[in-house]
Every structure is written in C-alpha cells, then in structure tokens.
Amino acid sequence: MNGPVRIQVAVDVPLAGTFSYLTESPVMPGARVSVSFGNRRVCGVVVTPIPGEGVPELDAARLRSIDGVLDGLPPLPEEFLALARFASDYYHHPLGQTLFTALPTGLREPRDVTKPDRRPFVLTDAGLGEAPPARQRARLALWQALQDGPLDLAAAKAVTPQAGKLLADWVAEGKAGRATQEPPPLRLGDAPALNGEQQAALDALSASEGFQPWLLHGVTGSGKTEVYLRLIAEQLAARRQTLVLVPEINLTPQLINRFADRFPGSRIVVQHSHLADGERMHGWLNAWHGDADVVIGTRLSVFTPLPRLGLIVVDEEHDGSFKQQDGLRYHARDLAVWRARRAGIAILLGSATPSLETVANVEAGRYKKLALTRRAHGAARLPDVRLVDTRRKKLVEGLSEAVLDALKTRLSRKEMSLVFINRRGFAPVVACTACGWTSGCPHCSAKLVVHLMERKLRCHHCGWEEPVPRACPDCGDPDIKPLGEGTQRLESALQRMLPEARVLRIDRDTTSRKDAWDEVYRKVHGGEVDILVGTQMLAKGHDFGTLSLVAALGADGGLYSADFRASERLFAQLMQVAGRAGRADAPGEVLVQTQWPDHPLYQALVAHDFDGYAATLLNERRQAGFPPSTFQALLRADSPALAQATAFLRQAREALEPLAEGVLISGPAPALMARLAQRERAQLVLESPQRGALHRLLHQLPPLLDGLAKAHGRALRWSLDVDPQEL
C-alpha cells in the first residue's frame, strides 16, 4: 500500500452517513477502531473496504488518522453489517447509531475486548514430562490434578487458589494449553407425543427448503412450543443454530427451563436487557463465534450474529413489544423476516392471535399458514366464555356478583383463578367529589395513578410521583376518593372478601426484581396460590395447569380509543388471557365484565372466532385506508411549546408536498398523548398504498428537516417512525 488510504467509519452520533479517516495499514470492514471525533475519543466501526488508491494530498491534509484498531476480536461479520445497513436504510436512522444500538454495551467503547477462553486446561507433553518439586506443594497438587484430565479454571482454583497464575505461567512456558472441545453430542429429553395437527405442521416445516415465512396459528394451549422444540432438534442434529425471539423478559425463565430439559448439554444463550452488561456480551460473543446452539431473547436479539443460523422462530409474533418505541424504531419481527430471506432459511411466526399484517401476508400468498385448532393436552378444551352484563348490576370494588360466586366455587374445588385488569396501582385517578378536581400529572397529559401502599400518586408515563393529598388541592375539601380499580385495589378487595384465599399480584411493580418470576413460578406450581391478580403480563405464554377460571375486568376502555389498532389489541389480549384457563384436566371458564355485551368483538370472543373477526377488521382497514392496506410513517416533533412543534411540522409539510408523489400527508395534529415529560408533542402522518413511494419521500427527509430544525433552536426535537404501532 503506497501511503495512507481513506476508510469510512460509522460512529455513534445522530448524524447521517459515515466519516472519512486515514489509515496506514489494512483495516477490514467490520473492524472496531479507535478514532478522535470532535474532542472525544470514541469507538467506530469500519464499514467500507480499503480503496486501492492513495488519498490525494489535499484530502490527506484535512483528514484525521484512526488512533488504532481495537484488538482482541475479529471484524464484525458481514451478515451483522448487512442487517444494520438494512435497518438504517428502512427506518431512516443514522447508520452509526443503528450499528451501535445493535452492539452489546461492552463493544461500544473504545477499548480492547477479548472473548474469554472457557476451554479447560490440559498439560502438554512438555508439562507431563516434568513434575514440580515436592516442596512446591501448590504446583505439585495442580500438576497431579491435571494428570487425571482437563480442568476448567474453577476446578483448578478448587485445587489451589494460586491456579490462575500457575496456569498462565505454564501456558507461557509451553507446559500447559487449552483442550480442544468438540460440540457435545446431541441429547434429547423426554417429549410428549404429537397429535395429528402438530405432526402435520412439523412434516410441512421439516420439508421446507430455502427462505419461507410460515405462520403457525394455534389456539392457546395447542402445543406450538412443542412444534418449535421438534424443529430446533432437527437444527441441532444438523449442527445449525436457532434464534428464538420472545416478546417479554418474563417469558424467558419458563421457556429456558423447557429448552434446557429438552436439550440437556446443548449450549443455550439468553439475551435481554435485564442481564448485566458483561453477561450479555459474553452470550453475544458465544453466539457470534458459533459456541451457542440456541439463542433465546427479546427484540434486540434479532441483531445477534449467528454463523450457522438455520432457523428463526418468533413466538407471540403479534405482540407489540417487538416494536422499539424510541431511538432506532425497528420491528424485530420484520427484521427477522428480512434476515431469514437473506440467509435463505425458514422463519416460523407463532401466535394464537396473529397480527393483521401477518394475516394479510398469508392472504397475499407471501406467508404459508399452518393451523392448530385444538389443545394439545388430551383432556383440555377451549374455555367457555361468558359475558357478564354490568349495565344494571352493582359492582363491589369492580367485581360483579357473578365473578365473586365463580371465585368462591373455584376456591371450594381447590382450583386456581386469574383476575385480569390491565391497570396497575390502586386506582387510575383520585377525584374531588365537591369541585371535580382529578389527579393530573403536571408534566404529561395523563392522570396520576394511586399507589396506596406507598401513599404515592405516580405517572406511569414519565415517572413523576408525589404524596397522596389529604384534601383537594383546588377547593380544600377533604372528601377526595380513588376512582376505578387497579391491581393493588383488587388484591386488597379480594383479600378482604375472601380471607381464606391466597392472593398473588403480578404486575410491573411486583416483578421488577431480577428473580421475581422464578418466585412466581415456584409459588404457582407449588400450589401456594388460589387467585392471581394481574395485568397483560399474564395474558400470554404462561401455562398454569390448575387455572380453571379467568375473570376479565375493565376491558371496555379499549373500545373507545382513537387508535385504530385498539380493537385488534383488545381482542388479542382477551383471547390470550382467556387461553390461560382450562389447559389441563379442569374445564376452563372465562367471565368478561362489560357494558357492551352485543359488541361484535365480544361476540367473536365468545365464539373463539379469531378468523372471522380478523377478516372484519381487515375489511374495515381497507375501507378506511389504514395499514396493512397502506404504509405509514409518523413524523413527530416535540418542544416545550406546542406552537413551536406545530410550526416546525407545518413548514415540513409545505416543503414535502411538492415532492410527495403518491403520498398523502395529514396534519400537523397533537399526538394522542399531547404532553409527555414536560414536552408538547405533535405529528404528521405520511401514508401511501405503495411502500416504494413512501420511502422515496422519506429518503429526502433528514437533510430537509435538519435545516428546518436549526431555525427553531435546540429546544425542538424531531423523530421519524416507519410502520408506527402507536399514534
């Protein structure tokens, strides 16, 4: 190489494009490098190969050289870089920020990182031939222990605390080394027999070749996970890796235990945000280097590099948790489909309530559908769903007489019940009966929720909290009352009304500790719980064998939302929570309290008619011109003053309309939650029946908006959300 050459480096900054640096030595794409950016030393990722020619003198005078290549790891693989490029391009997010979002925290810093070598130590021929002197007791004990076979570091330290230094010295002297480890032979735990539908689904999936998205649409309790396990066993037998995406962290402990029981000895890596940084990075590196057989994780796991990837599974594919709502606003399910296409492998999307986007893809022939219409357990049947008309019934703490009677019946039978309400806290609001004051958040257009045990009012959006007032702040009347019910209030009410019942509340407040879910499963499966009280956390993925009754409260609120997706979400949520009942020998019953028993949503729920109601919703979306019949993007702006955010968006619309061929622009209008954390929010909706037309316009947005935003000062912020899930 004659003289310095220019390379392009991606840096974790909110700026489009990459940055040019000089290097005197070859640097491969994917290499992590240390560079000076402004007055900071940061980590960068090389994203282009070295050009074959030197840099002209003028350019060389203006460019900085890299500080150096960060040692210890090979360059990031091309599959990882390609996925990051696609995500950056599709979601119109800076490439540098996209890459560094996808990396574990430990790889984002400008420091050397090495993959820990976990292989056990062995003596070399030179080490075997020379025993330490008897007076060197620690060395001799370790040498003798290694005569019996390989030792990992923990076992070596059990022989002598000095093992770490001794082994390092012996490795340097050529007397010890690392054992060569072959992948462990595949062992399979016990598996239940498949029914006819499961076997037919497995046969179709096993025969699939190349890229193919599959929808496994199975009713709750139909044994979708067993189909996943059988497919993964085939991948393991062929020495291929599997990526399993799950929507919530709380689903992973139960799933991991099941995978570990089925695949004893296989290397299973878990990836989610509650792991310590070092633990997550170690798992990520193991996956990248092929030392993991199965990766189970939440949405960010979609970026985990896997050199032997053979299958992707997306469990509960409909779940909104797969969509990231800030920063890089990606949808993990959609990125997983793109990744499967690039790798030429199958992807399996599993759900009892598939998203309308997935249903539309099946109708269009892009995805193939497999159906599991009955429950896998021999005696299990879908639960009976009954609607409790509350229009002329008196409720006690939000509970109807029918629900209380059903709970008492289950208690007498020693069966478990679930009371579901998707509101945590004691009550959603405090109100004054004299003047009508309600407990609003001073920073958001939301109400402060009562958390009675802590005597706090708390905003579930920005985190603001304050003490519960003793009297109305407006008129001074002491007669202020909590209105409505939350999980805390229901827990207290049930403990008071049914003192013999053992009640366990499950919501974000009670499961924030790392090991909280392990404790929940221990109590439930140990027969220590009679009634579960919980939020949507309990609506999916959990298998509580003795649970025979589900009572759903407060669902009607989902019928009033201005969000066009609200009815789809409510229907899926109720079908999922109903599916917790009757999964074993005891028949299941579901009671839904409602003031709208004749609503088509509830009638479809009673009939377990997902397909019919999904067809109705899809038809409504087509008539209204909503996704999935059209493609949307939201341009959001927020500022301390709504007028400033609106003025910015109005200017953006005026600049975009001459370029918006085939794209409809609506707004600006306040967001559904117009105020959040002391900032006012407004938005433009951009939509088109053609994805290509929408993205051609979106590609022109960043430079245009950056120029407009400068005129409004630093107080104004803007963001773009492609395929938004929340308005």
Query: Rounded mean pLDDT of 244-262?
Result: 83
Written as one string, the DSSP assignment of 489-516 is HHHHHHHHH-TTS-EEEESTTTS-STTH
Instruction: Name the band, by pLDDT with cuts 50, 70 and 90, for residue 200.
Output: very high
Residue whose C-alpha is closest to residue 636's, from 299, 330, 327 = 327
How would you classify the pairing of strands 346-351 and 212-218? parallel
Asked if 196-372 and 384-427+484-620 have one fold, the answer is yes
274, 280 Cβ separation under 8 angstroms? no
366, 212 Cβ separation under 8 angstroms? no
What pLDDT is attached to residue 329?
97
| Cα gap 626→28, rounded to integer Å | 45
| Residue pLDDT, tens place only, 5-19 | 889 999 999 988 899
Domain ranges of the chain: 5-107, 121-178, 196-372, 384-427+484-620, 631-722
pLDDT over threshold 70, residue 514? no
| Residue pLDDT, tens place only, 325-349 | 999 999 999 999 999 999 999 999 9
- How many C-beta neighbours within 10 Å does residue 11 have? 23
Inter-residue long-range contacts of 520-527, CB under 8 Å, 24+ positions, other chains counted: 521/253, 521/254, 524/416
| Cα gap 633→687, rounded to integer Å | 6
Q: What percent of the chain has pLDDT over 70?
A: 95
Q: Find which of 113-117, 684-688, 723-727 is predicted with most confidence, using mean pLDDT.
A: 684-688
Token pair in block for residue 63:
């460019």
| Cα gap 562→373, rounded to integer Å | 33
| Cα gap 352→288, rounded to integer Å | 32
Annotated ligand binding at 475? The verdict is: yes
Instruction: Name the band, by pLDDT with cuts 50, 70 and 90, for residue 524.
Output: confident
What pLDDT is attached to residue 719?
93
- 621 against 461, higher pLDDT: 621
Token pair in block for residue 102:
């996808």
> Which top CATH class is 631-722?
alpha beta
pLDDT over threshold 70, residue 543? no
Query: Rounded mean pLDDT of 285-309?
Result: 95
Q: What is the DSSP letter of 291?
A: -
| Residue pLDDT, tens place only, 363-402 | 999 999 999 998 877 666 888 999 999 998 889 888 999 9
| Cα gap 488→421, rounded to integer Å | 10
pTM here is 0.88
What's the N-to-C CA distance of the chain in angstroms? 53
Q: Which residues pair with 40 in a beta bridge?
A: 37
What pLDDT is attached to residue 580?
79
Q: Torsions phi, psi of 110, nearest 5? A: -80, 65
Mean pLDDT of the chain: 89
pLDDT over threshold 60, residue 1? no
| Residue pLDDT, tens place only, 669-718 | 998 888 888 899 999 999 999 999 999 999 998 888 888 888 888 899 99
Annotated ligand binding at 43? The verdict is: no
Token pair in block for residue 19:
């940055």
> Furthest-apart CA pair in the chain: how many Å?
93
Residue whose C-alpha is closest to residue 164's, from 176, 156, 175, 172 = 156
| Cα gap 377→226, rounded to integer Å | 12
Cis check for the bond before 668: say yes or no (omega within 30 of 0): yes
- The domain at 196-372 falls in which architecture? 3-Layer(aba) Sandwich (3.40)
What's the 3-state SS for 648-713? HHHHHHHHHHHHCCCCEEEEEEEEEEEEECCEEEEEEEEEECCHHHHHHHHCCHHHHHHHHHHHHC
Instruction: Name the band, by pLDDT with cuts 50, 70 and 90, for residue 120.
Output: confident
Residue whose C-alpha is closest to residue 463's, from 449, 475, 473 = 449
Annotated ligand binding at 435? The verdict is: yes
| Residue pLDDT, tens place only, 271-292 | 988 788 888 999 999 999 998 9
Residue whose C-alpha is closest to residue 13's, from 98, 96, 80 = 96
For tokens 């020998």, the residue is 585
- The domain at 384-427+484-620 falls in which architecture? 3-Layer(aba) Sandwich (3.40)
Q: Helix 610-624 and helix 566-578: axis angle, to 10°? A: 170
Query: Rounded mean pLDDT of 30-41?
Result: 94
Q: Torsions phi, psi of 245, nearest 5? A: -100, 130
658, 721 Cβ separation under 8 angstroms? no
Three-state DSSP at 719 gives strand
Token pair in block for residue 640:
């301390």
Instruction: Name the band, by pLDDT with cuts 50, 70 and 90, for residue 227.
Output: very high
| Residue pLDDT, tens place only, 639-668 | 999 999 999 999 999 999 999 999 999 989
Alpha-carbon torsion (273, 279, 281, 283), positive or negative: negative
| Cα gap 297→247, rounded to integer Å | 8
- 711 against 211, higher pLDDT: 211
Does 5-107 carry CATH code 3.40.1440.60? yes
| Cα gap 90→335, rounded to integer Å | 10
| Residue pLDDT, tens place only, 408-454 | 999 999 999 999 988 877 788 888 988 889 899 999 988 888 887 78
Cis check for the bond before 627: say yes or no (omega within 30 of 0): no
